[in-house]
Amino acid sequence: MRKLHLIAASSALVASLTAVSGVATAAVAHTASAAATCTKANAASLHSAGHLTVATDSPAYTPWFVNNKPSNGKGYESAVAYAIASQMGFSASKVKWAYEPFSNSYQPGSKAFDFDLNEISVTPDRSAAVSFSSSYYDVTQSIIALRKNPIVTKHSPAQLKNYQYGDMVGTTGLDYINNQIQPTKQVKVYQSLTDAFNALVAKQVDAIVVDTPDGQYAVSKGSGELPDNSSVQVGQFPSVGEHFGALFTKDNPLVGCVNDAIATLRANGTLAKISKQYLGIYNKVPQIQP
C-alpha cells in the first residue's frame, strides 16, 4: 500500500462515487450470528464499551472515503467499515472514528481503536507487530508514466527491466519493482509519493508503481496529483496475493469476529457490490506481465 496525497477529485468523479448512498446502513440488512456472537463473547476487548471504534488516517482520500468524512458511509473503506459493524451487531450510531497516521498504525503496542482501515497491505514484517483480519480488498499493482514515455507501448517483461523507476520508501510498489520487475537500473527512492510524482513530471524517472485504484485516480483529470492529461496508467500486474486487512493490536480476540463478518460479506456478495460501486471505475485497467 502507498498513501496518495490526493488534493481534489473532479466533479464528475465525486458524483460517480457518491451516486450510491446508504451503503453504511443498508449494505447488510441483518446481523450475522457468528460475528455478533463472537463480538458479544469478547465485549471486554472493545476499546469503548458498547461501541466499535474504527481508525483511519487524515485526510481520508477518495476512492476509499468521500469528502474526507469517514463517518458518512461513502467510499469503499467507509462502506466496508459500516458493513462489518452491522455484522458484529453495531448500528451506525454506535460506530466511532479515530485518527491514526498510516506510518504509526503498524508499530507495536496498544491502539486507541478496535481496528484500522487505511489501505494497509498485510506483510510479514507488519504482522510481527500487529494482527490483521482476512482480506477485505485484494490489491494489484500498476504502472503510471508520462504519455510520451516509451514504456506506454513498449512494456513486455524484457522491456520493463530497462526503465528507470522511482517510488516511495517503504511501499509495496517499491517492493514489487525490486522483486517482480527486477530492473537493471537501481530504483530511485523518495520520501513521499509527491516527490516521486514530481520526479516523474521532471522526467527523472520513467515510471512509478502504485496500487491500481490509486494509480487510476492519480492520472485522472482533476486529481491534483499530476498535471491533467500528462500521464497514463500503462496497465496493472497480475495479483501476487497482496491484500488489505483490518489492523488490530497484536493478538486482539476481535480479529476472529471481524473475520466472521468479512466471510459473510464476501459470501453474500456485499463486498463485491461495494467494490463495484466505489472501485469499479478504477479497476478496468488492462493487465500486463512483469
pLDDT tens digits for range 198-239: 999 999 999 999 999 889 888 988 888 899 999 999 999 998
* Phi, psi dihedrals of residue 30, rounded to the nearest 5°: -140, 170
- CA distances (Å), 111 to each of 84, 106, 148, 288, in order? 19, 10, 46, 39
98-105's contacts with Cβ under 8 Å and 24+ in sequence apart are 98/53, 98/54, 98/55, 99/55, 99/56, 99/57, 99/58, 100/55, 100/56, 100/57, 101/57, 102/1, 102/3, 102/57, 103/170, 105/55, 105/130, 105/247
Report how far residue 239's alpha carbon sits from residue 141's, in angstroms, rounded to the nearest whole number: 8
Kindly list the structural domains of the chain, giving each domain's residue range(s) and its CATH number in brackets, ordered by start: 11-139+241-279 (3.40.190.10), 141-236 (3.40.190.10)
Q: Are 213 and 192 in contact (CB under 8 A)?
A: no
Each residue's pLDDT expressed in tens, for the chain with a length of 290 residues: 544 444 334 334 444 444 444 444 444 444 347 999 999 999 999 999 999 999 999 989 888 999 999 999 999 999 999 999 999 999 999 999 999 998 899 999 999 999 999 999 999 999 999 999 999 999 999 999 999 999 999 999 999 999 999 999 888 899 999 999 999 999 999 998 889 999 999 999 999 999 998 898 889 888 888 999 999 999 999 988 999 999 999 999 999 999 999 999 999 999 999 999 998 877 778 999 99
**Closest-CA residue to 262 (of 92, 127, 137, 119):** 137
At 69 the pLDDT is 97
